[in-house]
Amino acid sequence: MDGFKLYVTNTSTIPPEGYLCYEDPDPGLPNIIQTIPCNQLGRYVIYYDTKEDSTYGPIIELCYVAINGCRKGFWGSNCEKMCSEYCIERHCYPGNGSCIYGCNTDNCLNDSCNKFTGICTDGCMERRTGDFCNKYNLAYDSSVLINPNSRYPGSLANDGSKISCSKTKGPTVTFQVDLKEESIVTGVYILFGEHNTKVGSHTLYASNTSNSWKTGTILFEDQFLPTRINVSAVFRYLTYVPPSQGTSAELEVCEIGILGCPPSHYGPVCNKLCPDNCNGPCDLETGNCIFGCLNGWIGNKCEQGINIKTLQFYARLFTYLLYNNFSICRWVLVI
């Protein structure tokens, strides 16, 4: 048995044509009990020996074989966990879940990601945000201001890079993002640096003017500010006020992501256009017209045209009823 080879393949062809996991070093007999690691995707495990005995040819005696692993796409002691969707081909090591072929770096800055988690390590490409850079970032094209000003300006917090950070310090500190137009926002992603005042109240405000944030809507207020905050609001300005410690507050923001879509788009990455006949923005998930339709159109997506003659008939009918003092409170118009 000395000199045997162990293959993992997708065919039963002999000699094997797949991945060579192990080759026993000559000379001498191999150890009786062996545990051979081989992290490889395949259908067949082939023990192969070509070294001939002078009389009988290759001699093989195997008493017990156990093949440990999981079906493609799963990992864990009982193969109950799914590999990360960000692993290439969703294939990961059964023992720890790390990506065998690497992780998907389509939207990762510098094509860099963590093979264990799939998280983009350096940051995101333009207009993307989140750990996996799979969300549209309204803040990318925004204007970011910090108060007091410093040599680490607010623009360092929306450049996509986790390495460059905006920093400031003073008795009163604010961090404000101007989206440049009112937008539907579904979440806020904030990545802090090391230099922050952490003890105290963290507050996020939403407003439609830059100087009225104190009277705006409070989106979040707590003693701890998580990286991801789910919201549902329409606003132009997002203002973060960190806690102060004594007479001073310190703030370091490396990335700000504001989840949502431009007014005319919807979808997970905002690559779908809202229907033409919407009277304003559409729902970010379904594309339905949430503010109704332009005149002459009905339906969830305002895709059904109204018959003008029918509309004119009901208009004349309502005019007649109102002119003759009829009560129309119980009337229901169905078109």
pLDDT tens, position by position, 206-237: 999 988 888 899 999 999 889 999 999 989 99
Tokens standing for residue 312: 């004119």
Percent of the chain with pLDDT over 90: 43
Contact 175, 240 (CB under 8 A): yes
pLDDT one-digit tens code per residue, 284-308: 989 999 889 998 888 999 998 876 6
Q: Is the peptide bond before 148 cis (omega within 30 degrees of 0)?
A: yes
DSSP for residue 109: G
Nearest CA among 294, 281, 287 for reference residue 138: 281
Q: Cα separation of 206 and 192, whole Å? A: 20
What single-letter amino acid sits at 237?
Y
Distance, CA of 90 to CA of 275 (rounded, Å):
34
Q: How far is CA 135 from CA 37, 146, 183, 216, 257, in A?
A: 38, 24, 15, 26, 9
Q: Residue 50: its pLDDT value, please?
A: 79
pLDDT at 330: 46
pLDDT band at 33 (very low <50, low <70, confident <90, very high): confident
Taking the model in full, what pTM does it have?
0.71
Amino acid at 18: G
CB-CB contact of 220 with 242 (8 Å): no
Q: What are the pLDDT digits (tens) for 163-204?
A: 999 999 999 899 999 999 988 899 999 999 998 888 889 999
pLDDT value for 334: 44
Say what the pLDDT of residue 72 is.
Answer: 87
The domains found in the chain, sorted by start residue, are 137-261 (2.60.120.260)
Q: Looking at 208-287, which runs of residues are DSSP E strands? A: 217-222, 228-241, 249-261, 265-266, 272-273
Q: Three-class SS of residue 313?
A: helix
Average pLDDT over the chain reads 86
Q: Is the distance from CB of 5 to CB of 27 less than 8 angstroms? A: no
DSSP 13: -
Tell me the pairing of strands 5-9 and 19-23. antiparallel
Taking Cα atoms as reference points, which of 145, 148, 203 lies closest to residue 172? Answer: 148
Is 28 a residue whose pLDDT tops 90?
no
H/E stretch holding 322: helix 308-323
Q: What are phi and psi of 87, to 5 degrees?
A: -75, 140
- Token couple for 41: 């995707």
Q: How many CA atoms lie within 13 A of 202 on its CB side?
A: 17
Q: Is the pLDDT of residue 335 over 50?
A: no
Q: What is the CA radius of gyration of the chain?
A: 31
Q: What is the mean pLDDT of residues 61-80?
A: 88
Neighbours of 174 (CB within 10 A): 19
Q: Specify whether the CB–CB gap between 226 and 153 falls below 8 A.
A: no
Going by pLDDT thresholds of 50, 70 and 90, the confidence category of residue 316 is confident
